[in-house]
Structure 1
Amino acid sequence: MKKTFLIFTLLGLLLTRSMAQVVPPTGQTYSFTLQDCINYAYEHQDTVINARLDIKSADYRVKEIIGGGLPQVDGSALFQDYLKIPTNLLPGEFFGQPGTFIPVKFGVKYQSNLSLDVSQIIFDGSYIIGLKARSTYKELSQRNYVRTRINTNTNVTKAYYQVLVSNEQIKLLDANLNQLKQQLDQTTAQNKQGFVEKIDVDRLAYQYNALQTNRENVIRLLVLNYQLLKFQMGMPINENLTLRDKLADVKLEESAADLNSDTTVYKNRVEYSLFETQVKLNQFEVLRGKAAFLPSLKAIGNFTSSYQNNTFGSLYSNNFPASYVGLRLTVPIFNGFQRTNQLRQTQITLQKSQNDLYRVKDALNLQAASAKVMFYNGMQTLNSQRRNQELAREVLRVTKIKYQQGVGSSIEVTQAQTALEDADNKYIQGLYDALVSKVDLDKAYGRIQ
C-alpha cells in the first residue's frame, strides 16, 4: 500500500513539474537592459509579429504567381435526369409526309459525364512580368518589416528612457525632501526655544507637504511609465519588470560623432528603400498593362466519359468516351478601351511614385538636419540646466548658513528652496528632451536598423 502511494506521489510531482514547464508563469519578474527590452519587443510586439507574417504571406503570394504557370487540371462531374426528354421537329419529307413537321424525341432519360480538363501556359506576357516582379514584391514586405522593427526600437527606447528619467526625478525629490525635513525639524526645535517665529515653521511645512505630494504624483506616473514600456514591448501588464541600465550608461556625447551635413543621408533610411521598391513595383505594373495587349497561347486537353441510359440502375453500364488535345490562341482585339485606360492609370501611379521618391530625399535630409539641430539644442539646454541646478543648490546652501547665523531671512531660504526645485524640474525635462532627441537623431541618420 505504501509503495502504491509513493508511486502515485512521484507521478503527481512529475506531472506538476511538466505542467509548470509548459504553462508560462504569470507575474514573472524580468530584469532587462534596454537591448533586452528591444529584443523582447522584436519577438512579442504585435506590429512586429504582423510584419513578420506579411513576409510569410508574400512568400505564399510568390508561390501563387509561380503556380499560375504550372499545369492547371480541373475535374468535373455531371448528372442529368430529363423529366421530359426534349422534342425536336423534323421535316415530314423524311417520313413520306412532305409539307409537315414530325415531333421526335432524341436522347435518353438519364445522362452523366465525368470530365478532366488540362491546360498549360505556353506564352502569356502578364505571367512573364509577374515572374519578374515576384522578388520585388517580397522585397517590399521585408523592408516593411525592417521599418516596423525600427519604429518599435524607437518607441521602446523612448519609453525606457522615460522610466529612467522618472527614477532620477524621484531621487532628486527624495534628496530635497530629506534636506527639507532636516531643516523643518531644526526650525521647529528653534521655534520651541523661541529663536524663530511660527510662520517660519509654517512656510517650511507648506513647502515640505507640497514636495511630498509632488513625489507621490511622480511615483504614480512612474507606474504608468512602466506600463507604457511594457505595452511598447508587447509584454503583459501584470508582468514585473525592472531596469538594469542607468542614466550614466547612456552616452549622449557619442551621438554627436560622425554627423555629416551631406545630402546622401537619405540613403541610410529604410523609408527611402521602401519608396524605391514601390517605384519598381509600379514599373512592373506598367509592363504588365502593356503585356495585356499581347496574344496568349495555351496548350489544352480534355478527356470525358459519357454515360447514357433510360434506366438509372444501368446508367453506368455504357461508356462513351471522348478526348482531345489542342492549342488555344487568345488575341485581344477590342474590349471598350478598358486595357488602354487601365494602362494609363498605372502610368499615372508610376509618375506619382517617382515624384514621391524625389520628394522623400529632401524630406529625409531635412529630418536629419532638424534632428541634428534639436539634439545640439537639447544638449546645450541640458548642460545649462545642470549648471543652474548646481548654482541653485549652492545658493540654497549659502542662504541656509546666512539664516542660521541670523543675517538672512526665512523667506530667502524658502525662495532658494523653490528655485532649487524649479531647477530640478527643468533639469529633468531637459534630460528627457535630450534623450528623446538622441533617439530621433539616431533614427534620422539611419543608425537604428
Structure 2
Amino acid sequence: MRQRRFILCVFWLLSVSGLQAQEQPIDSTRFNVEEMVRFALVHSPLVQTSELDAEIGDQQIKSSLSAWFPQIAANTQWSNNLKLQTQPIGDQLITFGQPYSGNLNFNVDQAIFNRDVFLASKGSKLARTQLSQTLETQKIDAVITVARAFYDLLLTIEQIKVFDENIVRQEKQYKDAKTRYDVGLVDKTDFQRASISLANLQSERNRQVSSLDAKYSYLKQVSGYPLDLELTLHYEYGEMAGRAELEFSPDFLLESRVDYQLAKTQYSLTELETSYSKWAYIPTVRGFYNYNFLFFNQRFSGLLDESYPTSAIGLAATIPIFQGGKRAHDVKVAKLRQERFQVSLTDYEKQLNTEYESALAAYNSNYFTWQTLQDNLALAEEVYNTIKLQYDEGVKAYVDLVVAESELRAAQLNNYNALYSVLSSKLDLQRAMGQINPSSIESSF
C-alpha cells in the first residue's frame, strides 16, 4: 500500500512539472521595447545565424591550429604478386620477392616550420577578434531593426486610437446635425458633410487596421517571436516621449564604433597576409618518425607468421630556390592590397563622420519638428473646443467645425508621426556614435 502511494505521488509530481514546462515556454506575451529587443538578441534569426557563423569560424581556426600537433597515420597494403620481378645478375636470372607480401606502416609527422600553419597561429587572435566584432555588429543591426519595427507598430496602434476618438466624435456630430435638420434648424448639408467625414474616417481607420497584421508579423519575424503566439506591446505615450530625449552628449569618437574596430582588424589581417607572402622565402621544416612491419611468404596462410620491421627518424626540409619570380610578385600584390585597404579605411573614416553629421542633423530637425507639433496640437485642441462651443450655440457654421476637427486630427497624427521620426533618428544617431550596446540594453535606449 505504501509503495503504491509513493508511486502515485511520484507520478503526480512528474505530471505537474511536465505540464508546467509545457504551459510556460515563454514567460510573458507582453513586451516593452527593451524586453522585445532582449528577446530578439536570443531568438532573432539574424543573431542566431551570426552566432553559428562565429562558432563555425572558431572551429575552423581550431582546425587550422591542429596542424601544430603531431600528425599520426597508419597505412597498410597486402598484395598477391602474380608476376615476380626478375633481374639479370651476371649470367644468371634472379627472381626477387615472394608471392604474398604486406606491410603495416605507422608514421608520425611534426611541423617545425610551415608558413600556412604559422599564419594560422599568428592570425588566430585577429581572426577571433574579427568574429567577435562581426557578431557584435550583427547584434547592433538586430537591435535597431527590432526597435524600429516596434516603434512602427506602436505608431500604427496610436493612429488607430486617434481615428477611434475622431469616429466617436464624428458620429455624435452626425446625430446632432441630423436632429437639427429634422427640427428645421439647419439644412441637410450639415449632416451630409458629417456623413462624408464619418465615412472617410472609417475608411482610413480600416486601412490602418489592415496593416496591423503585417506589422505584427514583421516584428515577430525580425525578433524570432513564435508566429502562433499572441504579442502585446506594453508602452505609455509619456514613456515613449521621454525616450526622445538624448541622455548623452552627442560627441563622435571613431573608436567607439564596433564596425570601425572591425575595419581596423581587417586591415591588420592584410598586414599579416603581407608577412605571409614574405615567408615564402623560408624553408618548410618537419620532423618525422615511421615504423614499418613487412610481411612476405610463399603461402598466404603463413603471411603473418613472421614480420621484418624497419623504422626511421629524421628531419625533412623543403628549400625554395627559384620559382620564376612568383614570390616577389606575390609580395608586391600583398603590399598593394594593403595600400588599397588603407585607402578604403581612410575613406570609411570620412564616411562614418558623414553618417554621424547626417544623423545628428536629422535628429535635431526631427526633434524641433516634434516640439513644434506638440505646441500645434495643444493649439488645435483649444481651437476645436472653442469652435465646438460656438457651433453648439449657433454662432459658427458647421463648415468651421469640420475644418477645426480636420486640423485637430491632422495635428494628432502629425504629432505621432513626428515622435516616431525622432525615435527612429535617435537610433541612427546612437549607432553613428557607437552608443548601442547589445549587452546592456537599458543603457542603450
The normalised TM-score by structure 2 is 0.90
**Counterparts in 2 of 1:135 and 1:28: CA distance versus 1, 3 Å:** closer
Q: Aligned-pair distance for 1:331?
A: 0.3
Q: Aligned-pair distance for 1:27?
A: 9.1
Q: Secondary structure at the match of 2:282?
A: coil
Instruction: Specify every segment of 5 or more residues in structure 1 that has no aligned partner in the other structure, as ranges.
Output: 96-101
Residue 148 of structure 2 corresponds to residue 150 of structure 1: no
Aligned to 2:206: 216
Listed as ranges, the matches of 1:272-421 within 5 Å are: 272-421=260-409
For the residues of structure 2 that align with 1:349 and 1:116, how far apart are their CA atoms?
44
Q: Secondary structure at the match of 1:316?
A: coil
Residue 124 of structure 2 corresponds to residue 134 of structure 1: yes
**Counterparts in 2 of 1:198 and 1:363: CA distance versus 1, 3 Å:** same
Aligned to 1:70: 69
Residue 80 of structure 2 corresponds to residue 81 of structure 1: yes
Q: Which sits farther off after the overlay, 345-354 or 248-257?
A: 248-257
Q: Aligned-pair distance for 1:12?
A: 6.2
Aligned to 1:118: 108
Contact 2:244 2:426 in 1 (8 A): no
Aligned to 1:99: none
Q: Deviations over 1:330-389 (max 9, x none)?
A: 101234444344333332322222122111111111111110100011011112222233
For the residues of structure 2 that align with 1:334 and 1:18, how far apart are their CA atoms?
73
For the residues of structure 1 that align with 2:26 and 2:179, how far apart are their CA atoms?
47
Q: Deviations over 1:123-146 (max 9, x none)?
A: 334433432221111000000111
Residue 259 of structure 2 corresponds to residue 271 of structure 1: yes
**Counterparts in 2 of 1:210 and 1:16: CA distance versus 1, 3 Å:** farther
For the residues of structure 2 that align with 1:71 and 1:27, how far apart are their CA atoms?
49
**Counterparts in 2 of 1:22 and 1:308: CA distance versus 1, 3 Å:** farther
Residue 33 of structure 2 corresponds to residue 34 of structure 1: yes
Q: Deviations over 1:165-199 (max 9, x none)?
A: 22222222222122222211211211221112222
Letter in 2 for 1:135: K
Listed as ranges, the matches of 1:220-239 within 5 Å are: 220-239=210-229
Q: Which sits farther off after the overlay, 386-395 or 273-282?
A: 386-395
Residue 155 of structure 2 corresponds to residue 165 of structure 1: yes
Q: Secondary structure at the match of 2:108?
A: strand
Q: Secondary structure at the match of 1:137?
A: helix
Q: Which sits farther off after the overlay, 50-59 or 240-249?
A: 50-59
Q: Aligned-pair distance for 1:7?
A: 8.4
Instruction: Specify every segment of 5 or more residues in structure 2 that has no aligned partner in the other structure, as ranges.
Output: 438-445
Q: Deviations over 1:299-322 (max 9, x none)?
A: 111100011112111111121110
Q: How many residues are matched? A: 435
Listed as ranges, the matches of 1:47-62 within 5 Å are: 47-62=46-61
Q: Secondary structure at the match of 1:448?
A: coil
**Counterparts in 2 of 1:107 and 1:257: CA distance versus 1, 3 Å:** closer
Q: Secondary structure at the match of 1:229?
A: helix
Residue 430 of structure 2 corresponds to residue 442 of structure 1: yes
Q: Deviations over 1:49-78 (max 9, x none)?
A: 222233333332332333211211111111
For the residues of structure 2 that align with 1:316 and 1:343, how far apart are their CA atoms?
55
Letter in 2 for 1:175: E
Q: Deviations over 1:79-108 (max 9, x none)?
A: 1122x21443415x424xxxxxx5x54222
Q: Aligned-pair distance for 1:30?
A: 1.4
Q: Aligned-pair distance for 1:22?
A: 4.7
Contact 2:244 2:422 in 1 (8 A): no
Aligned to 1:259: 250
Letter in 2 for 1:72: Q
Superposed CA RMSD in Å reads: 2.5
Letter in 2 for 1:90: P
Contact 2:70 2:110 in 1 (8 A): yes
Q: Aligned-pair distance for 1:295?
A: 0.9
Aligned to 1:423: 411
Contact 1:265 1:365 in 2 (8 A): no
Aligned to 2:91: 94
